[in-house]
Amino acid sequence: MKSNTRRYGFYPLLLTLALGSAQAGQDMVVVGYGGAGQKAQDTAFFQPFSAKDGSKLIQSEYNGEMARIKVMVDTGSVDWDVVQIEGPDLLRGCDEGMYERLDWKQLGHAGQLIPDAAQDCGSAALVWSVAIAYDTDKVVRAPASWADFWDVKTFPGKRGLRKRAVYNLEFALMADGVKAEDVYTVLSTPKGVDRAFAKLDQLKPYIQWWEAGAQPAQWLMAGDVVMTSTYSGRVAAAAQQGSHLVLVWPQSLYGMDYWAIIKGSKHVDQAKRFIAFANQADAQVNYVRQIPYGPTNTEAAARLDPGLAKWVPTAPQNLKGALSMNVAFWVDHGEELEERFNAWASK
């Protein structure tokens, strides 16, 4: 999951931290990606945990800026404690000593979690999916693939894409005819990377870049874009509130976000208790009811109502034709590809 332009939000019973607050040293700070997703976390995790634990919790927002966390760790001035983070950034940061290592015997629930949820430095917070979305009120013919997303003649208008290499290079190759199961094989070659950027070149004049997760749904409803990539939970939440937004599940890309404890946190024990609480089935069912991202606890997944499960990325029908994010690929190549993407996007 994320832009510097996000505003800090204020949620019931929990204060939001502006960096530098005098309270930073007193209460644990949990940092997420804001918007509907964090409001759901507030209801399902933050408030119930604080009540049960008898401890205070402050929440804040960020946009995935690893440099900000690295400065905290390097200077020993750690203002945050628990952070929501994407898989590749977690693994890189773990190798660099940016996060506390977790003792899963102490935390518990590891046996209930889906594969790859329990990591050395992180615990999966949710399963997300990035998919095509459109508004049925504004699109007569439904797009069905990334090839349709690139087809500006049949579907004229602006496209929304997240302003990062990750996701977009995969989508570009699928738009160019690469099968989902072959995407990372192709992308692992210099020729494949060039092919992805060449495909992005074709669409570049029509792209409106999003950085905050709330933007795609807002842009669709406002008619600013005709279709967009989006985190599935954001659009599902908007649809549940009465909008006519629809997700295209085939060729979606899915992966996990994680909770990690920043090295040097002054509230490590409380942070571990929070992670253990968030891994419980009851808490995760409550979370998915607030916003339909995929639960990481298998017992929670088994208890979902069918009407809700249809919006969840890990539902069998939604996994058909979907692409699992290759975290190891982005750990190995993410830095160089993001640098190339930033240079390309700025031209």
Q: DSSP per residue over 207-242, as a string? A: EEEE-STTHHHHHHHHTS-SEEEEEHHHHHHHHHTT
pLDDT digits (tens, 9 = 90+) for 269-322: 999 999 999 999 999 999 999 999 999 999 998 899 888 888 999 888 888 899
Residues 174 and 300 in one domain: no
In a domain, 294, yes or no: yes
Cα–Cα distance, 260 to 123 (Å, whole number): 7
Query: Is residue 60 assigned to a domain?
Result: yes
pLDDT of residue 88: 93
Both 204 and 341 in a single domain? yes
Residue 337 resides in a domain: yes
pTM: 0.81
Residue 178 lies in a domain: yes
Q: How confident is the model at residue 25 (pLDDT cuts 50, 70, 90)?
A: low
> Could you tell me if 41 and 110 lie in one domain?
yes
Count the domains in the chain. 2
Mean pLDDT (the chain, rounded): 90
Asked whether residue 332 falls in the same domain as residue 199, the answer is: yes
- The answer to whether residue 54 sits within a structural domain is yes
What CATH number has the domain bearing residue 37?
A: 3.40.190.10
- Stretch 324-346: mean pLDDT: 95
* Range scoring the smallest mean pLDDT among 13-27, 107-121, 137-151, 310-324: 13-27
Residues 203 and 83 in one domain: no
Q: What is the mean pLDDT of residues 168-190?
A: 97
Are 66 and 208 found together in one domain? no
14 is a domain residue: no
CB neighbours (10 Å) of residue 56? 14
Do 84 and 136 lie in a common domain?
no
Contact 231, 133 (CB under 8 A): no
Residue 226 near residue 155 (C-beta atoms within 8 A): yes
Does residue 115 lie in a domain region? yes
Whether residue 150 sits in one domain with residue 180 = yes
Tokens of 212: 């905050």
Question: Same domain, yes or no, for 243 and 276?
Answer: no
Look at residue 200 in the predicted model and tell me its pLDDT: 98
Three-state secondary structure call for residue 134: strand
Q: Do 227 and 341 fall into the same domain?
A: yes
Task: Kindly state whether residues 329 and 235 are assigned to the same domain.
Answer: yes
Residue 8 resides in a domain: no
Segments forming the whole domain that contains residue 51: 22-127+255-317
Query: Same domain for 336 and 206?
Result: yes
